[in-house]
Amino acid sequence: MLNTSLTKYLYHILRMILVGVFLWSGITKALHPLQFSEIVAAYGLLPDALALPAAICLIVLEIIAAIGLLFEKRGALAWISLMMILFLAVLSYGIYLGLDIDCGCFGPNDPEAVAFHDLRGAFQRDLLLILAIGYLYLWRFINHLTPYSWLKFNQRQAISKEI
């Protein structure tokens, strides 16, 4: 059922959506790391001294994971999954506290975030991304796709199983 050409295209479309979301998110935050660290600090989960290092680590991880998923690198989808779980937990915390802050999803200059401060909307969007991640995992499992190693660039096994 999940090994038809239609499901293969859906796999690649969803993968590219995730790559685009995480790459865009990381790049827009990288343009303003200090402002993003203020958003991280606004959740009150970390001491202020750790907000900037945490923000920078998150930015780097988002960009590396997006590039890894673009090139089907082993572990990239797992890192994206872990970040999504973290984002959902932080958003849940913010919703629980009734915080009226920017979610921080696409950097401090995101026009939607400036206008709405909608943590619930960000939470719902992240749930949709979790569904896309679940599809990618399911498709890989059914089609026996093994992502490439980060160190080896000429693995034909992953390519031949995908096509």
Alpha-carbon distance of 75 to 68, in angstroms, equals 8
Mean pLDDT of all residues belonging to the chain:
88
**What's the pLDDT tens digit per position in 22-43?**
999 999 999 999 999 999 999 9
The whole-model pTM stands at 0.86
- What is the structure's pLDDT at 156? 47
Long-range CB pairs of 52-60, under 8 A, 24+ apart, other chains included = 55/29, 58/29, 58/83, 59/26, 59/29, 59/30, 59/33, 60/26
The first and second tokens of residue 104, run together, are 């921080």
Q: How far apart are CA 15 and CA 9, in angstroms?
A: 10
